[in-house]
Chains A and B, each alone.
Chain A
C-alpha cells in the first residue's frame, strides 16, 4: 500500500468534487442551510400539560384544575385514552374507575391508572401524581390514600423530553453523511464513463490502493461535514468520543453504498436516480426520531437505524459506550458487508 499514491488519488478526487458545481454548492450551502434550520427550530419544549382523562363519572373538581393551565381532554374510553398517549396527543392519561368518588367518600383506597408517553419527563410524571392527589383532596377535603398504577406506553426513553431542534440533530447529521454517497458515487461513475480509470490502471497504482483512496475520500468528506455540524450545534458536548466514533462508522457506510450505486450507474443523473432511493431509505429511521411513533419495529432492518439511535441517544440523553456498543458493532458489520459487496460489483466494472 503506497501512501503517496493514495494521497495523489484523494487529492485528485477532492479537486474534481469541488469543481463539480452541483456538489460544491450542495456541500457548502447544505451545511449552512442545515445550521439555519437547526437554529430556527424551537429550542424549548411546550410547557403546557395536555392530559387525557377517562372517567366514567367526571369528578367536579376538574374545572378548577384546568384553570391552573392544565389542558385536560376527556376521552370516551380507556382505549382511546391509551391511543392518545401513544400518539403523543397527551403527555399522560389518567384513568379513573367508575366508583372512584364513591370509594373515596367511603374512605377506601381507589385505584388510578396513569399512562405516560415514553418521552414524558419524570417531573411531569411527578406532577401528574400531584394532580391526582389534588383531585382527591378537593373532592373529600382531606389527603387520602390513592393506589396509583403507572404504565409506560411505547419504549421508555427515561423520560427526557427534548426540544425539536435537538431531535433534528441526528436527522441532519445522517443527512450530511448519506448525501456524500451521491458525491462519491458520481466521482466513481464518471471515472468509469470517461475511461480515466483505464489511464489509472496502467500506472503502478494497484486496484486495492484505488479502493482505499476512494474509501478515504468518501469517509473524510462525510465525516468532516457531520463533525463540523455536530460541533456547531453542540452535539459533541456529551460523549464526544462515542459521537466521533459513531460518525466515523456512519461515514464508512457511505463508501460501500457509493460503490454499489456507482456500479449500477453510468453517469451523474443515473447516480441521482439510484442514490435518492437509497438516501430516502437511510433517512427513514431519522424521521422516527423527529416524529416518535411514525415508524415501527421494521425500521431496524435499515442499517442507519443503529447509527441514528446512537447519535440520538448519545447527544440528547448522554447514553454511553455500554448503552451503544451493540449498535456500533452492528453498524461496523453493515459497513464491512456493504463495502465487500460494493468492491465486488465495482471491480467488475473496472475491467
Chain B
C-alpha cells in the first residue's frame, strides 16, 4: 500500500511568541484533492511553507511521499509543484523562458514548454514578455510553472483568485486533470464553491489549528442543516414562506401538512454551505 502523499504530525511553527501553527496533524492520500480553508492569518501559508520545505518546523514533522521534508528537502522539492498566491514570475522574460528555466532547475529532459503553454491557454503568446500579460494570463502561467516537473504533489494557493469565470474554469479543469494523472493536490482557497466542487476532503484551519477535516458531504451532514423551502399562496393570495427542517422527528408530518393543507407555489431543498459550516465551527467568517 502506497504511503499517504502528505503526512503532517504535530506540525508547529512560532513567529517569536506567536504560535502560527499549533500541533497540526493530518494525512492526505495519494491522488486526493484537499481543500485547505481558513481566514487570513489562520496559519495556512505557514503550514504550506513547512510542507514544501521553505520553513523548518519548530516541532513535529512533515512527510511527503514517505520522506521527511526537513531531511530530504531537495528530493522532496523535486517531486512537488508550487503555485504561489502572489505573482512571482520573471516579468522581463517570456513565458517560454520562464518555463524552460524551471525545467532546467528540475532537471527535466525533453521538456516541451509549448505544449504546457497551450494546455493553460497561452499558446501564441509564448514568446511575449510576461510584463505584457494580463493578470489572468500571469496566473495561468503560474499554474503552468507549477506543472513543469509533472509533480506528484501539487500545492496551489488561490489559483483562481481574481480570474474571469472562463479562466477560472480552465484552471479548475487542469486541477482535475492533474488528479487524474495521479497527482495529489493541496488546494488553498477562499472560494467555498471551488473547494466544494473540487475537493475530496476539506480542512478548516483557524488560529493555527485544524478545526475540521472531512469530505464536504460529511461536514454538511455533521454540521449543516438541510431544509425544504417552499412558497405557498395564502388566503389573501399573498405568497408566504415555509421552511421544513429535514432529518427531524416531525419532518414527515410537516411535509404531509404542507402538501395537503397548503397551496404550494414553489419548493426547493437547501443545504448548508461550507462557509456556513465554517462560521458555525469557528464563529468567524473566512474573509476575516
Residues of B2-56 at the interface with A, using a CB-CB cut-off of 8 Å, are 52-55
Closest-CB distance, B99 to chain A (whole angstroms): 12
Across the interface, name the chain B residue whose C-beta is closest to A17: B92
Q: Is A4 an interface residue (CB 8 A)?
A: yes
- Enumerate chain A interface residues (CB-CB to B < 8 A): 2, 4-5, 7-9, 11-12, 15-16, 19-20, 194-196, 198-206, 351
Contact with A20, one of B78, B92, B104 (Cβ below 8 angstroms) = B92
Closest-CB distance, A7 to chain B (whole angstroms): 8
Q: Is B143 an interface residue (CB 8 A)?
A: no
Across the interface, name the chain A residue whose C-beta is closest to B93: A15
Contact A19 B92 (CB under 8 A): yes
Contact with A203, one of B92, B93, B105 (Cβ below 8 angstroms) = B105
Q: What are 13 residue pairs bridging A and B, where the CB atoms are less than 8 Å apart in the complex?
A: A4-B107, A8-B105, A15-B93, A16-B92, A16-B93, A198-B54, A199-B82, A199-B84, A202-B80, A202-B82, A204-B75, A204-B106, A351-B55
Interface string of B83-117 (1 = CB under 8 A from A): 01010111111000100011011110000000000
Q: Tally the A-B contacts, defined by beta carbons under 8 Å.
A: 63
Among A9, A16, A195, A204, the one with the most B-chain Cβ atoms within 10 Å of its Cβ is A204
Contact B107 A195 (CB under 8 A): no
Q: Is B145 an interface residue (CB 8 A)?
A: yes
Closest-CB distance, A20 to chain B (whole angstroms): 7
Contact with A206, one of B54, B74, B92 (Cβ below 8 angstroms) = B74
Q: B residues within 8 A CB of A195?
A: 84, 86, 88
Contact A204 B78 (CB under 8 A): yes
Q: How many residues of B contact A (CB 8 A)?
A: 26
Contact B77 A199 (CB under 8 A): no
Contact B88 A198 (CB under 8 A): yes
Contact A204 B93 (CB under 8 A): no
Given the contacts A15-B97, A16-B93, A198-B54, A204 and B88 also touching, CB distance less than 8 Å: no
Closest-CB distance, A188 to chain B (whole angstroms): 14
Across the interface, name the chain B residue whose C-beta is closest to A20: B92
Contact B104 A194 (CB under 8 A): no
Given the contacts A4-B104, A5-B105, A202-B82, A12 and B93 also touching, CB distance less than 8 Å: yes
Q: B residues within 8 A CB of A9?
A: 105
Q: B residues within 8 A CB of A196?
A: 88-90
Closest-CB distance, A306 to chain B (whole angstroms): 37
Q: A residues within 8 A CB of B52?
A: 202
Across the interface, name the chain A residue whose C-beta is closest to B107: A4
Contact with A12, one of B53, B78, B86, B90 (Cβ below 8 angstroms) = B90
Contact A194 B107 (CB under 8 A): no
Smallest CB-CB A-B distances: 7 pairs = A8-B104, A195-B88, A19-B92, A203-B105, A204-B78, A202-B82, A204-B74
Q: A residues within 8 A CB of B86?
A: 195
CA distance A198 to B52 in the complex (A): 11
Contact with B101, one of A12, A19, A206 (Cβ below 8 angstroms) = A12
Contact B102 A203 (CB under 8 A): yes
CA distance A128 to B220 in the complex (A): 106
Closest-CB distance, B185 to chain A (whole angstroms): 16
Contact with B88, one of A12, A199, A205, A351 (Cβ below 8 angstroms) = A199
Q: A residues within 8 A CB of B78?
A: 203-204
